Structure 1
């Protein structure tokens, strides 16, 4: 008699499926990462996804903990980045989403991808434009995240100077084309869109912590 084999997936396969796992070769072909780097990112992903909720998916609280060492309280910057990583809009970040979104921050990722992501980051309402209030809110959030405080007049100066450069048609909002031109003239505005350690994550393998320095953001007004 022949041996009967079970067709049900192994526990490891079931776990990977629940995490939105995709083969490293597939993700490497679609991103700026190598196969080995994707494999290293999977180990990092597992660590993050079990830090609070033990379900193998990255929840918003775990994302905040990874970025800012705290899971308490809303943070506009962290929550906005989470929303952009959550491509399926289901409230969690799966492994494939994690790799594809993190790839944008790779030093070798195309500048066009970084520019588009940064635009979405500031387009809080999802209208396809960056308006003054949205920029103001994000600047304040970034300052708060950095434990730095600028006066209201200093914040207004950042917003005013940015719009005076970027809003070329003077309609009070920045469209994607105007943003592209602004970034070309102000490359420092994308400085925090590259995380150097992603260049060689297989050897550095740090904690996934993004530090935003206020000078990188206030510098967009120069």
Structure 2
């Protein structure tokens, strides 16, 4: 299979913003060259689905990953922000592949752990505070159309901190988080999307399903 934009085709078809050669991205991610080429085809579909500029805007991203382009949701917004590595409000091809690589089943566990930590570290302080975890749990419930009482939400938050906050200072640091996910590997279950290994066969909707029980700190 040739590159999505081979050297012979670049003269007649302009590369999109942030385009990088599949071989370069494959060397820096968990994807093969063929998988990057397939992702390029998917990227083109997404980046022209609403705004025709070759970049993935938030509404296009939400439509692809969450089947909706409207309505604010902290979880969805946070995932978009972490994919937007350049912090310019859009996702280019390089950012798309590098960020999505973290969800590849073969991606290093350390990368998944770090990404999940950033997902919960809403204020970017380098720690996960109780209020941040509470906000994310509520967002996950909302995204999953589940309804739990305030007492149930508090139980999830308290249980997680009871397991993860080993020095009992009311916040979770990166080392404590790493120890927590090592003890409770199901907390990273949603950080792997199995069909990324089959991306060369088809382009399924990249729908992220949230299972709130995975974030409760309890192995089922």
User: Match for residue 178 of structure 1?
Assistant: 176
User: Match for residue 38 of structure 1?
Assistant: 36
Alpha-carbon shift at residue 221 of structure 1 (Å): 4.0
C-alpha distance in 1 between matches for 2:213 and 2:199: 26
C-alpha distance in 2 between matches for 1:125 and 1:30: 28
Runs of 4+ in structure 1 deviating by more than 4 angstroms, as ranges, are none
C-alpha distance in 2 between matches for 1:73 and 1:49: 20
* Greater helix proportion: 1
Q: Which runs of 5+ in 2 are unaligned?
A: 1-9
C-alpha distance in 2 between matches for 1:165 and 1:205: 39
Alpha-carbon shift at residue 209 of structure 1 (Å): 1.4
TM-score calculated relative to the size of structure 2: 0.92
User: Match for residue 66 of structure 2?
Assistant: 68
C-alpha distance in 1 between matches for 2:200 and 2:100: 15
Alpha-carbon shift at residue 205 of structure 1 (Å): 2.4
TM-score calculated relative to the size of structure 1: 0.92
Could you report, residue by residue, the CA deviation over 1:159-179 in whole angstroms, capped at 9, with x for unpaired residues?
000001100111100000000
C-alpha distance in 2 between matches for 1:137 and 1:10: 49
Say whether the 8 Å CA contact 2:26–2:32 is kept in structure 1. yes
C-alpha distance in 2 between matches for 1:214 and 1:179: 18
User: Match for residue 187 of structure 2?
Assistant: 189
Say whether the 8 Å CA contact 2:65–2:205 is kept in structure 1. no
Are 1:12 and 2:13 an aligned pair? yes
User: Match for residue 26 of structure 2?
Assistant: 28
Say whether the 8 Å CA contact 1:75–1:141 is kept in structure 2. yes
Q: How many residues align?
A: 210
C-alpha distance in 1 between matches for 2:150 and 2:197: 38
User: Match for residue 80 of structure 1?
Assistant: 78
C-alpha distance in 2 between matches for 1:148 and 1:45: 31
Alpha-carbon shift at residue 70 of structure 1 (Å): 1.2
Alpha-carbon shift at residue 11 of structure 1 (Å): 5.3
C-alpha distance in 2 between matches for 1:96 and 1:20: 6
Counterpart pick for 1:98 among 96, 99, 104 = 96
Say whether the 8 Å CA contact 1:63–1:78 is kept in structure 2. no
Bigger radius of gyration among the two: 1
